[in-house]
C-alpha cells in the first residue's frame, strides 16, 4: 500500500498536497482503537494488535493528555509493583472506559465535521 501511494503522490509541486489528502482519505475509514478493561473480555485474541502483529498490546501516551492514559499508567505501574493496586471493580473500570471511548468518538466526529465544513467553504470561495 505504501509503495502504491508513493507512486501516486508523484514528484511535482502538488505531490505533498496529494500525499496529505490521500493519506487522510485512506486512514479515515480505519477502525478506531478502543479502550477496554481486560477483565471484562474473555477472548484474549481481542488484545491482539493487527498492524504490529503482537498478541498483547497496550497503548498509552503521556498521562498529561488524556484521562484514559492516566488510568493505563497507574494500572501498569501497579502491575509492576511500583505503586499500590487500584481498588476498583472491573465493571466500574469498564464504565469509565466506555465514557472515554464515547468522548473520543465524539471528538473525532467533531474534527471530521470541521474538516468537511472547511473544505466546503474552501471550494465555495475558490473558482
Whether residue 63 is found in the same domain as residue 18: no
Whether residue 23 is found in the same domain as residue 48: no
Whether residue 18 is found in the same domain as residue 44: no
pLDDT along the chain (127 residues), means of 10: 72 78 71 78 81 80 76 87 88 90 90 86 77
Question: Buried b / exposed e across 36-57, counting CB within 10 Å, b at 16+?
Answer: ebeeeeeeeeeeeeeeeeeeee
Whether residue 26 is found in the same domain as residue 38: no
Cα end-to-end span (Å), the chain: 33
pTM for the full predicted model: 0.62
In angstroms, the CA 101 to CA 40 distance is 15
> By residue range, what is the domain housing residue 81?
34-125
Q: Which residue has the cell 497496550?
A: 58
Give pLDDT, residue 82: 93
In angstroms, the CA 59 to CA 49 distance is 10
Give pLDDT, residue 72: 84
Amino acid at each position: 500500500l505504501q509503495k502504491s501511494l508513493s507512486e501516486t503522490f508523484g514528484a511535482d509541486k502538488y505531490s505533498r498536497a496529494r500525499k496529505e489528502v490521500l493519506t487522510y482519505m485512506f486512514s479515515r475509514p480505519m477502525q478506531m482503537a478502543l479502550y477496554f478493561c481486560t477483565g471484562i473480555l474473555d477472548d484474549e485474541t481481542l488484545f491482539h494488535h493487527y498492524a504490529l502483529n503482537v498478541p498483547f498490546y497496550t497503548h498509552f501516551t503521556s498521562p498529561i493528555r488524556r484521562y484514559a492514559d492516566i488510568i493505563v499508567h497507574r494500572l501498569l505501574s501497579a502491575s509492576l509493583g511500583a505503586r499500590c493496586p487500584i481498588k476498583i471493580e472491573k465493571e466500574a473500570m469498564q464504565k469509565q472506559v466506555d465514557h472515554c471511548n464515547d468522548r473520543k468518538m465524539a471528538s473525532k466526529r467533531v474534527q471530521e465535521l470541521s474538516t468537511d465544513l472547511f473544505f466546503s467553504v474552501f471550494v465555495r470561495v475558490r473558482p
